[in-house]
Structure 1
Amino acid sequence: MVKSIVSAVLEKLGSLITIPEEIKQNVELALALEEEIGKLSVHFQDIQSVLQDAESKQVKDGNVRNWLKKLKDVAYDVEDVLDEWKSAKLKPQIEKEVKEIGNFPLFKKIRRSISSLTFQTMLHYNIASKIKYINQQLDCIAEEKDRYKFGLHKDVEESQRVITASFIDEEEVYGRFEETTVLVNKMVGENSSGGSSLDVISIVGMGGIGKTTLAQLVYNHNDVECHFDKRIWICVSDPFDDIRIAKEILEAFKGESSKLVGKDNILQEVRSHVLGKKMLIVLDDVWTEDATKWEQLKNSLKYCSLGSRILITTRKEKVAIIMGTMPSNSFLLHTLSQEECWSLLSHKAFSGRTREESENLEDIGWKIAKKCQGLPLAASILGGLLQFKRTREQWQRVLDSEIWDIEEAERNIFPPLSLSYYELPLALKQCISYCAVFSKDMIISKDELIKLWMAQDYLKGVRGEEMEIVGEEYFDELKMRSFFEVFKRDELDSGIMKYKMHDLVHDFLQVLMDTECSMIVNDGFEELKVDSSCERVRHATLNRKQATPTEPNIYHFKKLRSLLIDSSYHDTSSLSPYLPKLFDQLTCLRTLNLTNSLFGNSVEELPDEIGKLVHLRYLNLKNNRKLKELPESLCELCNLQTLNLKWCDSLKELPSGIGKIINLRHLENERTDLSLMAMPKGIGRLTNLQTLSVFVVTDNSNASTIGDLQMLKHLRGHLKISGLGAVCDLAEAKKAEIRKKEGLRTLILDFAIPKGLMSESLLRTNNGDLLEALEPPPCLEKLEIWCYRGLTIFPNWMMGLTKLSHVSLGSCLHLNSLPPLGKLSFLESLYIGEMRRVKEVEVEFLGVDREETSAVPSSSESPSSSNIAFPNLKHLEFFDLKEWESWMPLTTTEEEHISVMPQLRSLTIGSCPKLRELPCYILQNTSLKQLDISQSPILSGRCRKETGEYWLKISHIHSITIDGLCIQANSSSVEEFGLFINFGIFPQSLRTKLMGGTGIRGKVIWDDAIGKKEGD
């Protein structure tokens, strides 16, 4: 960590610091700055050369460890000074550009009585003074360095890796029965590598999770032993020595060490021995990501018999891929269950005890087993430790201890985790170490974590890549090295969204970060303990267990760079009185998270002192639902990259000077369109914006127009444009150039007319031309259109959206018929709601050509691709079609030649009181697994069990729910498809709360009140 910070400082010293022209006129000041900067660079270059040796020695030498802490503190201080200088140079440039822009609104700002030149001179004197003081500290650190006699290179130390063998006592293993069965079947089953004689199978998981144990169980399984002609176990470790591995293979065949020399000779000999033999080779503990070290050895093994296997254990998914593992053969190993963990621990801990003794200690033992968090290594070590502790008091002390305070645990669990950490590149060490600031068991959002890394300046593109792309690569690399584990998947996107760290990995990181990352607990009654260590805390989570209005008392942590407020036990309103002082004191903050609980009392006003946080890059105000405005001083934060305003749904306006925050990349403002009246005029200056969740359109001449979106060329992800009903200027809409924003994946077009602008002329406006002008990029995946007043809703550009998989059409009150959406071949999910004039869903809705169908000569021919309606549709929902009476069926001829919704899995119909029937292509659809009908009495009656005439036709459907009552749920379908809830049957006031998160889970949940879909 120290090495990476020092490297960052040297980089900034080389690229950011130039003496401005106006300062060069002051020769004395210019010379002083140049001298101090030069001295600073020399100090850090001198220290950097010995850091590798110093960091290796800190493990055993406490004095070296303290020296590195001092160095790290000074390096942080230098970063703060350089950042302050950079910001001070940037602000005048921004002010100048703002003045040059015509009709730009006036800003509220403090008038200075001194000239700009005088102010800049004073600023640089201040900078020079700070750098001089830091150099004095570095003088002392450099003197100490010389006492330790560090070398220029790290001393070679004995490897901490344990050499493994194939032997195992199966009576000492608990759990892993299912995993063993699966892997044994892969060992003795048919090849899955497309005809290759050699299948590669990988066991992937974090250190201490039991990869080697599982490989030993498989290796020694009777079926495996009988299946292979030859089994060979090799502990690979690091470095990957292909010659040593080849010689061990030869030794296994010949029974003696190979005396051959020369790589080619050795590999030729390997080839001759494996020829025609069915082999199992286990390569345990593989680390290398260099494919060239493996390829030649693998080629010599290809001559073995069909059905041969290579079994790899590794901590890295990337290694499994490089070694040639097919996705189906990569086995991600998870932790033990609590019961299995307890069995393993108790087997060791109760060895030699009487039954009475064991029963007396069992309750404490269970709690200790939970501390192991399913990690077999931890359970085994703690079980062995407890075996020699006889009393409840001794067991209680183990339970009350942090796991790293237990000598046996530190000696045996620490090395496997530290190996994974110390093998990381410097940049990845910084990123994963930062995660020590999170609460244990915290669910981590990948996107949010990347933004936090950005705020700390950890993400530097090597070839000019954007920080977000570098962050994606870093996160994926850490995940593939087992630092993060999957917690939750998004069903609609079929992608992994949420992650967490294993508790022991988190504990390990907290030990590494020591006082640098801190959990600050204040229960409202007990004063927060403050000591000298507060000066070293850089990242903190404030956990206030009481919502009482007591001062949080964190002002002593003056060097804080991150302050995350844990809102689990309180709301942010109790902090409001102390925010001015907090912002006044903690001026080094780069990250500030003031997220509120969704339904708690929130901050109502953000104080002007927020403008003092000149280093701030990340500000999260999510769920502060009473916040009505943001101060203009916020616009002084020229370094701000992320501003999260999600669910700040009382916010009336954004600051008029928002265009000054030129480094802003992510403006997350979902749900603010309920209250925002417009977007400020300077929004178009934020040319670095990648995230803009909501853009509000108005006819106010003092606000931004839709055409200002033209300048936001880098927008990606999700964009909602609301208030489109007020747009009359097609030229402005075309100017927005939505089509060129190729990073967009979701586009929501809301044609509702803002309150206060409602007029007869606007109500009569046909939005057809406007919709054509808002053509999205061809790579769009989700499209929602709301409150559209055109007579048709199938614009010319829609067929060009070849990746469009989700469509929602709602409150389109002028439509008499539904568009031919069946033509959208990639569509997977379709919602249609509040179409008050639609009386029939006609065959045209399917999007097939009836003339082509009637011309088909033979009924025996299968439908062509052009005659498959909705070929990929899986989820279909109709809601609140009050006048809908009939769903038109196909004619007999059409049924023979048209395939309709062949992949449909779920159909939901709600609040369609006049609907009488369902077409045969729905009733007879064998792919349909889930049917939900509510507030549609005629249709509900026809679908009821036994009494309805449709029952025999729909009884094949696994899950059927009528008006909230599940009348059929096969056990298999409940597991596969979960619960389907239509929140439209609830009052609107309750719907939003339910969607806020109550533990209800379902594959697809639609909340009509807020237009939102949720997955598992």
Structure 2
Amino acid sequence: MADALVSIVLERLTSVLEQQIHEQVSLVLGVESEIQSLKNTLRFVRDVLEDAERRQVKEKSVQGWLERLKDMAYEMEDVLDEWSIAVLQFQMEGVENASTSKKKVSFCMPSPCICFKQVASRHDIALKIKGIKQQLDDIERERIRFNFVSSRSEERPQRLITTSAIDISEVCGWDMDKKIILDHLLGKKCQEKSGLYIVSIVGTGGMGKTTLAQLAYSHSEVKVHFDERIWVCVSDSFDPIRVCRAIVEALQKKPCNLHDLEAVQQEIQTCIAGKKFLLVLDDVWTEDNQLWEQMKNTLHRGAAESRILATTRKESVVKMMRTKYKHPLGELSLEQSRALFHQIAFSERSTWEKEEELKEIDEKIADKCKGLPLAIKTLGNLLRIKNSKEEWKNFERDISPALLLSYYDLPPAIQRCFSFCAVFPKDSVIERDELIELWMAQSYLKFDGSKEMEMVGRTYFEYLAARSFFQDFEKDDDGNIIGCKIHDIVHDFAQFLTQNECFIVEVDNQQMQSIGFFKKIRHTTLVVRESTPNFASTYNMKNLHTLLAKEAFNSRVLEALTNFNELIEELPKEVGKLIHLRYLNLSRCGGLKKLLETICDLYNLQTLNIQLCSCLQKLPQAMGKLINLRHLENFPSHDLKGLPKRIGRLSSLQTLDVFIVRSHGNDECQIGDLRNLNNLRGHYYGDREWPNWMMGSSLAQLKRLNLEFCIRCPCLPPLGQLPVLEKLEISHMHGVKYIGSEFLGSSSTVFPKLKELITFRLDELKQWEIKEKEERSIMPCLNHLIMQDCPKLERLSDHVLQRTTLQILDIRSSPILERRYRKDIGEDRHKISHISQVKCRWI
């Protein structure tokens, strides 16, 4: 985390200086030189952080040094927030003055009062920077005293290369798993006559996949059964040449000097021709089918009883390899965990006199490992040489350091993203998109301009998921991970990395009085266990960067942050003092009715989540000041009375779940106010009447349109007059009971380019009729019609069925339609007999 913070501060120092030059806003003389000196010192410090973070586990003085460095980095980041805000306020006040001025001038000078405030503010910032520079100089002097090793002088440790060697004495608890694997390898379960028989062991990191493969590989029956045994550690990079050369070296028992893939493959085929071989591919990650096929095609010259045994963490790899048998590996039982830990921790001792004394602690440590073999073996080996009861108790209190090896295997940018997960309570479901927004808010994602920041975050998330830092995945219909959990041990480790920074605060009336040391908290989740009206808060969280208060706002939660002690149904105005806040989640806060204007002073805010705040009626007019806001998550918005007009100024806005269109009110945002929000994503929530802009020329170039959850609208808009619309999707419009000519509009040719019409969950729709007094061309290009989950719809429009170029009709989960158009017995089946593809329960 220290490396992450220092890197972020360095980047921001550069960007703020550039902003100052660009905006021509000068600070007090001399600060620029202080900044340059700060940057140089931070670079020296950053070079030794990898060594420092390793040594903090055993050296308390190093841990203290890192804590002071992180505190300083956070202070510097907070000062940079103030600096950026000062510049933004200067800009905005100038814009406001210019917009209200009656004189037509090219610019407007701020008032003397404003200038005085700006000078005072910048002077205060300059003093803070100088103070931080002094602190950093002290930290730098300590750095020299610790004799840290610079990361420039040593390479990052590489992933451990596994081999077939195994110490049987350190293995227990896999007897049944081993038997099953052996049965498949030795042909007792299946006699494969052609092709390669592939067995895959799959499970999360540290579950013992490699150990199980080693047990099978070194079993006496396996040694006799196979003519050749080959062990290859594949790891992250699946390089066919490297893997093939490793196979040749294992077969010939000497180095392979061939470097051409074709030559190496021919050598393999010569060596295995007609022989039964067992090839173990340990730690397979690649999902590239082309690379795998290139590898697999080399192995077909072996005898029919040959086997490939692969270990992997990824289900997608199992499918890609066309595995014949998949063996999932889960956590060890409580008894297995204790037995394995005891076996390792008490081996190689000359005396067992302390065994009974340490037995109780032994079991507690094993139980804390929650069945994770990697943690059990790592801790067992660490404690093998520890004889002191106090040393064992220290490990019982915190087993997190044992996971440092896996953590340092991650790239630095992803290390900081993982450690931030400590802000979530144990066993909670972490939503992928929410986590990515949190990472973005802290500037944790490296942005190179080649793709959106959200996509960078998705890549980071998938990297951590693939390496088993996450588990218990929730997936969407397309198989994409959208949610996950973290193993308790891994969560403990994340908290170890972020102690004093990330907190989960459980609040009740008794605790309120006693928590006064949280002023250093930067990221917190508030969990309210009890709410009573009589308490005096002692919180001081003015330095917060992240606040998660899901389902917690009951007129009490945020009072704790700001010493505001009245019963309220709106955020207290003091929330505006949390100027470093980047992420504010108030979702499911059912009592919240209003956000005050002071929330618009949170210039650094990137995400505001007010989803399912069912009583929220109004958003503040000054929201245009939140120029860093990227995500306004406001679904659903039953009671929200429009959106403020200045939302159109939020040029960074990417997510707006619901846009509420009103035809009245000068202070309400109209659709035209969003014209410059080029990155915006979201759906129209709807009113009783469709807005005028949907009837005019503003959508003339639209090719695809989705109407979803417009639940207030009793009818469809006249979309038939859209000249180039090719695909129309309509779903979850529960107010629509009838589709008629109003849907067509007044054009001479209706839906002239429409190819696909898709409807889903129109629960109340009963009739679809086209009654025309004059003959018009209607949907002349329609090819694909879906009417799914329309349980009350009685029939389809005869005109659409018989006078269009319809080729595909899908009426599943619409029982009345399915009976009417059922083959042989449906009364209107003849009306769709010309359609080439009809999808329903009864074809």
Q: TM-score, normalised by structure 1?
A: 0.66
Q: What does residue range 708-719 of structure 1 map to in structure 2 within 5 Å?
A: 708-716=673-681, 718-719=682-683
The residue that corresponds to 1:581 in the other structure is 563
**Structure 1 position 266, deviation (Å):** 7.6
The correspondence for 2:813, drawn from 857, 861, 875, is: 875
The residue that corresponds to 1:658 in the other structure is 623
Given the alignment of the two structures, is residue 430 of structure 1 paired with residue 416 of structure 2, yes or no?
Answer: yes
Q: What is the CA deviation profile of residues 263-293 of structure 1, one whole-angstrom value per residue up to 9, with x for unaligned ones? A: 5698775453123434321133467999999
The residue that corresponds to 2:281 in the other structure is 283
Given the alignment of the two structures, is residue 639 of structure 1 paired with residue 604 of structure 2, yes or no?
Answer: yes
The residue that corresponds to 1:140 in the other structure is 138
**Structure 1 position 72, deviation (Å):** 1.8
Task: Say if 1:247 and 1:258, in contact at 8 Å, map to a contact too.
Answer: no
Q: What does residue range 324-473 of structure 1 map to in structure 2 within 5 Å?
A: 325-326=320-321, 333=328, 335-336=330-331, 341-345=333-337, 371-377=368-374, 405=397, 415=402, 417-473=403-459
Given the alignment of the two structures, is residue 844 of structure 1 paired with residue 816 of structure 2, yes or no?
Answer: no
The residue that corresponds to 2:643 in the other structure is 679
**Structure 1 position 205, deviation (Å):** 3.5
Following the alignment from structure 1 to structure 2, what is the Cα–Cα distance between the partners of residues 529 and 668?
34
**Structure 1 position 626, deviation (Å):** 2.9
Given the alignment of the two structures, is residue 747 of structure 1 paired with residue 708 of structure 2, yes or no?
Answer: yes
**Structure 1 position 723, deviation (Å):** 1.3
Q: What does residue range 274-313 of structure 1 map to in structure 2 within 5 Å?
A: 274-285=272-283, 304=302, 308-313=306-311
Task: Say if 2:183 and 2:189, in contact at 8 Å, map to a contact too.
Answer: no
CA RMSD of aligned residues (A): 5.4
Following the alignment from structure 1 to structure 2, what is the Cα–Cα distance between the partners of residues 123 and 478?
42
Task: Say if 2:548 and 2:584, in contact at 8 Å, map to a contact too.
Answer: no
Q: What is the CA deviation profile of residues 490-524 of structure 1, one whole-angstrom value per residue up to 9, with x for unaligned ones? A: 45x65443211122211222222233323334442
Q: What is the CA deviation profile of residues 972-1012 of structure 1, one whole-angstrom value per residue up to 9, with x for unaligned ones? A: xxxxxxxxxxxxxxxxxxxxxxxxxxxxxxxxxxxxxxxxx
Distance 1:647 1:23, change over 3 A: closer
Task: Say if 1:349 and 1:385, in contact at 8 Å, map to a contact too.
Answer: no
- Counterpart residue identity of residue 707, structure 1: G
The residue that corresponds to 1:791 in the other structure is 740
Distance 1:653 1:215, change over 3 A: same
Task: Say if 1:789 and 1:814, in contact at 8 Å, map to a contact too.
Answer: yes
Following the alignment from structure 1 to structure 2, what is the Cα–Cα distance between the partners of residues 729 and 241?
56
- Counterpart residue identity of residue 280, structure 2: V
The residue that corresponds to 1:698 in the other structure is 662
Distance 1:800 1:895, change over 3 A: closer
Q: What is the CA deviation profile of residues 350-373 of structure 1, one whole-angstrom value per residue up to 9, with x for unaligned ones? A: 999xxxxxxxxx999999887444
The residue that corresponds to 1:506 in the other structure is 491
Q: What is the CA deviation profile of residues 776-824 of structure 1, one whole-angstrom value per residue up to 9, with x for unaligned ones? A: 785969574744776247665598475x766233556885579999977
- Counterpart residue identity of residue 666, structure 1: H
Question: What secondary structure is seen at the aligned counterpart in 1 of 2:503?
Answer: strand
**Structure 1 position 609, deviation (Å):** 1.9
The residue that corresponds to 1:484 in the other structure is 470
Following the alignment from structure 1 to structure 2, what is the Cα–Cα distance between the partners of residues 706 and 25?
35
**Structure 1 position 473, deviation (Å):** 1.4
Following the alignment from structure 2 to structure 1, what is the Cα–Cα distance between the partners of residues 341 and 729?
58
Given the alignment of the two structures, is residue 572 of structure 1 paired with residue 554 of structure 2, yes or no?
Answer: yes
Distance 1:636 1:848, change over 3 A: same
Given the alignment of the two structures, is residue 538 of structure 1 paired with residue 522 of structure 2, yes or no?
Answer: yes
The correspondence for 2:698, drawn from 719, 735, 741, is: 735
**Structure 1 position 74, deviation (Å):** 1.1
Following the alignment from structure 1 to structure 2, what is the Cα–Cα distance between the partners of residues 616 and 851?
56
Distance 1:517 1:482, change over 3 A: same
The residue that corresponds to 2:9 in the other structure is 9
Task: Say if 1:707 and 1:735, in contact at 8 Å, map to a contact too.
Answer: no
Q: What does residue range 4-83 of structure 1 map to in structure 2 within 5 Å?
A: 4-18=4-18, 20=20, 30-83=28-81
How many matched pairs? 800
Distance 1:636 1:772, change over 3 A: farther
Task: Say if 2:716 and 2:743, in contact at 8 Å, map to a contact too.
Answer: no
- Counterpart residue identity of residue 573, structure 1: S
Q: TM-score, normalised by structure 2?
A: 0.78
- Counterpart residue identity of residue 67, structure 1: W
Following the alignment from structure 1 to structure 2, what is the Cα–Cα distance between the partners of residues 119 and 454?
32
Task: Say if 1:203 and 1:314, in contact at 8 Å, map to a contact too.
Answer: yes
Distance 1:69 1:160, change over 3 A: farther
Task: Say if 2:588 and 2:612, in contact at 8 Å, map to a contact too.
Answer: yes
Q: What is the CA deviation profile of residues 829-883 of structure 1, one whole-angstrom value per residue up to 9, with x for unaligned ones? A: 43356xxxx7x425839x644899xxxxxxxxxxxxx56531xx5533779xxxx
Given the alignment of the two structures, is residue 807 of structure 1 paired with residue 760 of structure 2, yes or no?
Answer: yes
Given the alignment of the two structures, is residue 173 of structure 1 paired with residue 174 of structure 2, yes or no?
Answer: yes
- Counterpart residue identity of residue 574, structure 1: R
Question: What secondary structure is seen at the aligned counterpart in 2 of 1:16?
Answer: helix
Question: What secondary structure is seen at the aligned counterpart in 2 of 1:487?
Answer: strand
**Structure 1 position 212, deviation (Å):** 1.7
Percent of paired sites with the same residue: 36
The correspondence for 1:207, drawn from 201, 205, 208, is: 205
Following the alignment from structure 1 to structure 2, what is the Cα–Cα distance between the partners of residues 159 and 851?
63
Distance 1:62 1:313, change over 3 A: farther
Following the alignment from structure 1 to structure 2, what is the Cα–Cα distance between the partners of residues 660 and 25?
19
Task: Say if 2:549 and 2:585, in contact at 8 Å, map to a contact too.
Answer: no
Task: Say if 1:488 and 1:496, in contact at 8 Å, map to a contact too.
Answer: yes
Q: What is the CA deviation profile of residues 591-637 of structure 1, one whole-angstrom value per residue up to 9, with x for unaligned ones? A: xxxxxxxxxx9961112222222222222222223322221222233
The residue that corresponds to 1:911 in the other structure is none
Q: What does residue range 945-956 of structure 1 map to in structure 2 within 5 Å?
A: none
Question: What secondary structure is seen at the aligned counterpart in 1 of 2:34?
Answer: helix
Following the alignment from structure 1 to structure 2, what is the Cα–Cα distance between the partners of residues 159 and 726?
61
**Structure 1 position 700, deviation (Å):** 0.7
Following the alignment from structure 1 to structure 2, what is the Cα–Cα distance between the partners of residues 783 and 472?
28
The residue that corresponds to 2:354 in the other structure is none
Question: What secondary structure is seen at the aligned counterpart in 2 of 1:449?
Answer: helix
5+ residue gaps, structure 1: 105-111, 353-361, 388-393, 584-600, 754-765, 853-865, 905-920, 926-1016
5+ residue gaps, structure 2: 103-109, 347-358, 745-749, 772-777
- Counterpart residue identity of residue 228, structure 2: K
Task: Say if 1:572 and 1:602, in contact at 8 Å, map to a contact too.
Answer: no
Q: What is the CA deviation profile of residues 373-429 of structure 1, one whole-angstrom value per residue up to 9, with x for unaligned ones? A: 443455788999999xxxxxx9xx99xx897537xx66xxx55x4333211111111
